[in-house]
Amino acid sequence: MSTQTGLLHTRRFLPLFVTQFLGALNDNVLKNALVVLLTFQAANWTSLKPEVLANLAAGIFILPFFLFSATAGQLADKYDKARLAQLVKLLEIGIVLIAGAGFALHSLVLLMSVLFLLGLHSTLFGPVKYAVLPQYLKETELVGGNALIEAGTFIAILLGTLLGGLLAGSADASGTITLAGLVLAVAGYLASRTMPAAPPPAPDLKLNLNPISETWRSIHFARENRTVFLSILGISWFWLYGAMFLAQFPAYTKNVLGGAETAVTLLLATFTLGIGVGSLLCERLSAERVELGLVPFGSIGLTLFGLDLAFASPAGPAGAVPLGAIALLAQPGTWRILGDLALIGAFGGLFIVPLYALVQQRSSASHRARTIAANNIFNAFFMVAGSLAAAALLSSGVSIPALFATAAVCNAAVALYIYGLVPEFLLRFIAWLLIHAVYRLRASGLAHVPHDGPAILVCEQANAIDALMIMAACPRPIRFVIDRQLSHGPLLRFVFGESRAIYYDGAVPLAPTFFCEMEAALAAGDLVGLLNPQALSGVASLLPRIPQLPVTLSPRGGILSRIELAIGAPLPHLAA
């Protein structure tokens, strides 16, 4: 049984998953049903144009993310997250009742208030669901848990969008929408009641209700760890990228593919299911750990298939009559377009799940929820900025396929920028490719490697290629101590250079500066790897209290060879 399948059978995860799924489903049912009603029955509600209402609704929904994310992060750090989830679900029930009153009274003010409250509901629950995962899950389950949450969220968005549209077109739309929303909200509340307790990390935290100062404070927490902050920017970029594609589907289907409303659903379903599949693949491809090597892999796919979608798109509709989903499938080139959309979604899943898990893993437990709140603020800002940029480009005459190509090129530029600032992503990608494309690596004893703090990996009879294998298997970055003569070739020079290897010249005695660099690395809490300890006399006397972990490698041969890697328990000392 996989970790993901097993989690769905546990009380520490299943209630959270069901609560999150039903909440996302209900949000999208109510939001999309309301937007459809206001679009097609605007005359019954207001004199405003439907286009104005649609943009007003989008702005009102996202406003709470800017206003209340910082407060939501504080609440999740101060109070039991399971209890907060229950209170948020009670709020959801109240929101549905207000929506029912708005429908009955044909009150635009009440219905816009519902959209605002739905945004508040999502704002409050976001830090809870992501910050509670490290409390409920083991480290080896973190990627699988995040994958299920992301897959479930996007499937809920798809189902909610479809169901909301269907309910809006029913005979008694107002009553049907209210009843469906109430059933989902009550079911979500009952699920939240079974969530295990999640004690707060900062129960003595004094709440700051000033959204501006607390937002800056949350951003400060996020910036404490550079890798975490850049991961947040990567997550926000993905939401910009994905939201931009989703927003163009109706116009792209109608004006480029010549499709009808059902064809829009086909594109939406393909894209969403692709994200779900990619998310669920993360656990298998990452060997149940936070594998940063998948992030560059995901960004490459987002760029390549975004460009291919632009090139595969026709110049315009083939006929005057809009085509339904089945008829569109018969058109030449449609399957290539659907394949591109599915693969964009799948590589997006590979991109975003490790980043979410990394933010949870490396954020300080005392303010993890506030760090995630900062992530939500950046997500909202990026999506708004992306929408404005897309609108500006389309208004200036840029076609939708050209917009897709522009976004794909920008994605490559953003990826290169982030990987340039944090080489760990690219280094893990190179190591991940080696162990999946060239070697088959099986590792054991990784639990002996401490999560943080100084430690020494002692590798007997290992060479530079072996070091790459160890880097790929180890959950922490390693600074190898290596003879400069062994680091030959552009790939090895790049990898060891970017991983801040500590070099020495095996042909001459060790210089005092070498020992100073070793001491500085260990004092900084780094994990140091020794490839040839026999050649390094005097190293053992540096810091005898540093845990020393013996590493054994066997055997290594040609292409597709199997490497067995075992890391033992800490040694009492390293012989000089």
The 10s digit of each residue's pLDDT in 243-285 is 888 888 888 888 888 888 778 888 888 998 999 899 888 888 7
Put the strands of the sheet holding 455-459 in their side by side order.
440-444, 562-567, 548-554, 455-459, 527-530, 478-483, 502-504
pLDDT above 60 (res 560): no
In a domain, 478, yes or no: yes
What is the number of structural domains in the chain? 3
Identity at 51, one-letter amino acid code: E
Please report whether residue 367 resides in a domain: yes
Residue 376 shares a structural domain with residue 413: yes
Q: Which of 118-122, 200-204, 228-232, 445-449 has the lowest mean pLDDT?
A: 445-449
Tell me the DSSP string of 255-271.
Answer: III-B-HHHHHHHHHHH
Residue 52 binned pLDDT confidence (cut-offs 50, 70, 90): low
Q: Determine which of 43-57, 218-232, 340-354 has the lowest per-residue pLDDT on average.
A: 43-57
Burial class (CB in 10 A: 0-12, 13-18, 19+), 557: exposed
Q: Tell me the range of 212-216, 429-433, 481-485, 515-519 where mean pLDDT is highest.
A: 212-216
**What are the backbone angles phi and psi of residue 330, rounded to the nearest 5°?**
-80, -10
Dig out the tokens for 508 from the structure: 């001459």
pLDDT at 575 over 50: no
Query: Would 146 be classed as within a structural domain?
Result: yes
d(CA 205, CA 137): 24
- CATH assignment of the domain containing 257: 1.20.1250.20
| Distance separating alpha carbons of residues 291 and 359, to the nearest angstrom | 12
Same domain, 189 and 225: no
For residue 315, give its domain range.
211-421
Q: Which amino acid is at 445?
A: G
State whether 317 and 405 are in the same domain.
yes
Which two structure tokens, joined as six digits, stand for 214? 């607390």
Q: With bands split at pLDDT 50, 70 and 90, how would you rate the model's confidence at 576?
A: very low
Residue 575 counted as domain residue: no
User: What pLDDT is stored for residue 195 in this prediction?
Assistant: 94
Task: Give the pLDDT band (50/70/90) at residue 85.
Answer: very high
Residues 298 and 314 in one domain: yes
Q: Phi then psi for 502, rounded to 5 degrees? A: -100, 110
195 shares its domain with 124: yes
Indicate whether 192 and 222 sit together in one domain: no
Residue type, 185: A
Tokens of 132: 């509670």
Task: Read off the tokens for 443.
Answer: 């590792």
* CATH number for the domain harbouring residue 473: 3.40.1010
List the Cα angle 314/318/323 in 5-degree steps: 105
- Alpha-carbon distance 365 to 202, whole Å? 9
Confirm if 274 and 341 have CB atoms less than 8 A apart: yes
Residue in 440, 463, 470, 442 with CA at minimum distance from that of residue 549:
470
